[in-house]
């Protein structure tokens, strides 16, 4: 019996070690649980109610200023009217500054960019907690309007490249 206990303990310890050190952990789906309530687990959203983020976040992350926009949206939310794939959305997305750490926000964005993307996203660097903190510190208006203003500016700047 003692031998079984030792083997079970060793297997558990090794499992914890390997899963804790698994590089894919930064793309963990559990971080996306809050977001999936509206954007759905596969990121396709609900037409007219909640916009799709599948395949879009990776495109935005690749644009100049896009990473800051994504961090701002997840941190402080988004409010107002936006158009996505020809569908108009009007509403308020709550920010997660009070409920998610910078590590959580980086994990959500990594999941969305790398896992909810049907295209090759290997050209993107993973988001880090340090990057999230730096962007959060640089945002003057810590509210959903900050993301809305940034969205308008990036949409104008990138024109047809903006998804």
Tokens representing 89 are 């959305």
Q: Using N-to-C axis directions, what is the helix angle for 144-158 and 66-76, rounded to 10°?
A: 160
Candidate from 6-20, 30-44, 118-132 with smallest mean pLDDT: 6-20
Strand residue runs (E) in the chain: 77-84, 87-94
- pLDDT attached to residue 8: 36
Residue predicted with more confidence, 17 or 103? 103
Fold of 26-161: Cytochrome Bc1 Complex; Chain D, domain 2 (1.10.760)
* Domain extent listing, the chain: 26-161
Q: What's the predicted TM-score (pTM) here? A: 0.82
pLDDT at 80 over 50: yes
- For 89-138, write each residue's pLDDT tens digit: 998 999 999 899 999 999 999 999 999 999 888 899 999 999 999 999 99
The reported pLDDT for the residue numbered 65 is: 96
Q: 141 in helix, strand or coil?
A: coil
CA distance 86 to 61: 21
Q: What are phi and psi of 76, to 5 degrees?
A: -110, -5
């Amino acid at each position: 019996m003692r031998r079984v206990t030792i083997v079970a303990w060793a297997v558990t310890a090794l499992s914890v070690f390997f899963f804790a050190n698994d590089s894919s952990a930064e793309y963990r789906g559990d971080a996306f649980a809050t977001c999936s309530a509206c954007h759905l687990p596969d990121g396709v959203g609900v037409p007219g109610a909640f916009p799709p983020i599948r395949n879009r976040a990776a495109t935005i992350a690749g644009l100049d200023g896009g990473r800051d926009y994504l961090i701002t949206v997840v941190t402080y939310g988004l409010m107002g009217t936006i158009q996505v794939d020809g569908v108009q959305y009007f509403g308020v997305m709550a920010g997660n500054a009070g409920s998610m750490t910078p590590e959580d926000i980086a994990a959500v964005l990594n999941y969305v960019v790398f896992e909810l993307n049907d295209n090759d996203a290997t050209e993107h660097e993973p988001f880090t907690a340090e990057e999230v903190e730096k962007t959060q510190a640089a945002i003057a208006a810590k509210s959903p309007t900050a993301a809305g203003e940034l969205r308008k500016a990036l949409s104008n700047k990138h024109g047809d490249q903006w998804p």
